[in-house]
Structure 1
Amino acid sequence: MEPGSSSGGSSARGVVSDQGREEKQKEMREKLSEVCGVGEEEEEEDDDKSNGIASGFVPGPLVSLKEQIDKDKDDESLRRWKEKLLGCLENDLNGQMEPEVKFHSIGIISDDFEEISTPLPVDENQIDRVLFTLKEGSRYQLKLTFSVLHNIVSGLTYSNTVWKGGLQVDQSKGMLGTFAPNKEPYVHTLEEETTPSGLLARGIYSAKLKFEDDDRRSHMELQYAFEIKKTVS
């Protein structure tokens, strides 16, 4: 054996080992991107997507955060990397597979009045109660405060359907994004809407707000009511 041949083989094995580690880290980044930061907001790319999710999309198998951390635990470099990435989640590594989204409040933001916030969940006997009153032709946004528990929730979407006098008059859908468990609640504001104006637009409306993830798992269905008036005092 020529001098240096053994060193060359060792070097080659080192390259292969480094490549394997990089591939594993890349895989973890894809699964756990933005784990300890804010939610990753995603936008709809075209009209062929329903609720921001591509038609025919099949999500991968659900893996608990604990299992993701324990995987490759014999690799010291990967172990330290995962601990750094997931350090903010040490209190939520109970092995539970399915993520849970817990909504704390829904608010309304408008230039016509100070922000109004309603704690969630709403009591059943208050479902038909008017949560807020808007001026016709005014702009407003819904503001949500929520927490994510146990696992990453992927592709969280919303749909808001509005009725007046039993007839559906509006429906909006959108993508909130992908969120990981976090110590602090997330605060997310939906897209700005404009209320209709005119005599026929005034009155009380009923609405249903729904939230689902990539697995079509329902995280909340909220029925509420609001009113549109000519003026708001």
Structure 2
Amino acid sequence: MESVNGKRAQEEAGPSDGTKQEMTEKVSNALNDGRVEEEEADEEEDGGLEDSKNGSFVPGPLVSLKEQIERDKEDESLRRWKEKLLGCLESDLDGQLDPEVKFHSIGILSEDFGELVTPLPVDHNRNGCTLFTLREGSRYQLKLKFSVLHNIVSGLTYSNTVWKGGLQVDQSKGMLGTFAPQREPYVYALKEDTTPSGALARGVYSAKLKFEDDDRRCHMELKYLFEIKKSS
């Protein structure tokens, strides 16, 4: 009876000091093992992220549109679908890889005189001449007509910088978009703008209009003059 009561009392009292120490060591070892495994997992994850950051995406080789269409030459319906999607025929393509943007004209749309179109490139005899004249406080838009040759041009952007008396007074930038070769030329109007007003705003301005694609390839750089006159 005493042995039973003694055993029950020992169980109620909890484990002995030796048992406690043994359990503590086991828990400590388990925690340390878990911490090591967690650190190793973190290191593996960090290493994976580092490899991902250091790794660079290598795009495939640039392929001409002519070659892409010829790959499906045996499938007549697919070939016609591609030509319809691109807006051109296989006979229009020459296999050249780099796209080319050919500008045909620049126009000015204004409430003053409607539309005034200047063929491009500008005649050398007109270099240094004023392309157009606007009234102060009037709204206007630049309008361009261009063709895309050889391959798709992506991320075509423009920048138009304006100076007066040698000081830069305005700069506008914008995205035209991505264009594929087609038989009919594209017509694109830049965003509408308003000429400044006041005595200081009148006079002759010089400007530079530049077009680049997402490879920073310059397709046109046009320097021109325009004048702002007093509103009658």
Q: 5+ unaligned residues in a row in structure 2: which ranges?
A: 1-57
Q: Kindly indicate which of the two structures has a greater share of residues assigned to helix.
A: 2
Partner residue, 1:189: 189
Partner residue, 1:50: none
What CA distance in whole angstroms lies between the structure 2 residues aligned with 1:59 and 1:114? 47
Offset, 1:86: 1.3
What CA distance in whole angstroms lies between the structure 2 residues aligned with 1:61 and 1:149? 19
- Whether the 8 Å contact between 2:205 and 2:226 is mirrored in structure 1 is yes
Partner residue, 1:119: 119
Offset, 1:114: 2.3
- Name the larger-Rg structure: 2
Could you tell me which amino acid in structure 2 is paired with residue 105 of structure 1? S
Partner residue, 1:151: 151
Q: Deviations over 1:4-31 (max 9, x none)?
A: xxxxxxxxxxxxxxxxxxxxxxxxxxxx
Partner residue, 2:142: 142
Partner residue, 1:174: 174
Offset, 1:124: 3.6
Q: Deviations over 1:128-172 (max 9, x none)?
A: 210000010111000001111111111111000000000000000
Q: Deviations over 1:57-116 (max 9, x none)?
A: x98743210121233556x4xx63233221532232211111111111000001111210
What CA distance in whole angstroms lies between the structure 1 residues aligned with 2:218 and 2:62? 16
- Whether the 8 Å contact between 1:59 and 1:214 is mirrored in structure 2 is no
Partner residue, 1:130: 130
Partner residue, 1:83: 80
Spell out the pairing of 1:31-110 with structure 2 (5 A cutoff).
61-71=61-71, 76=75, 80-87=77-84, 88-110=88-110
Secondary structure at the residue paired with 2:106? Answer: strand
Superposed CA RMSD in Å reads 2.1
Give aligned pairs, total: 173
What CA distance in whole angstroms lies between the structure 1 residues aligned with 2:135 and 2:61? 47
Identity %: 75
What CA distance in whole angstroms lies between the structure 1 residues aligned with 2:59 and 2:229? 44
Q: Which has the higher contact order (CA 8 A, sep 6+)?
A: 1
Distance 1:207 1:91, change over 3 A: same
Q: Deviations over 1:180-218 (max 9, x none)?
A: 111111110000011000000000000000000111111
Could you tell me which amino acid in structure 1 is paired with residue 89 of structure 2? L
Offset, 1:231: 2.9
With normalisation by structure 1, the TM-score equals 0.69
Q: 5+ unaligned residues in a row in structure 1: which ranges?
A: 1-57
Could you tell me which amino acid in structure 1 is paired with residue 116 of structure 2? I
- Whether the 8 Å contact between 2:69 and 2:82 is mirrored in structure 1 is no
With normalisation by structure 2, the TM-score equals 0.69
Partner residue, 1:221: 221
- Whether the 8 Å contact between 2:73 and 2:79 is mirrored in structure 1 is no
Distance 1:168 1:69, change over 3 A: same
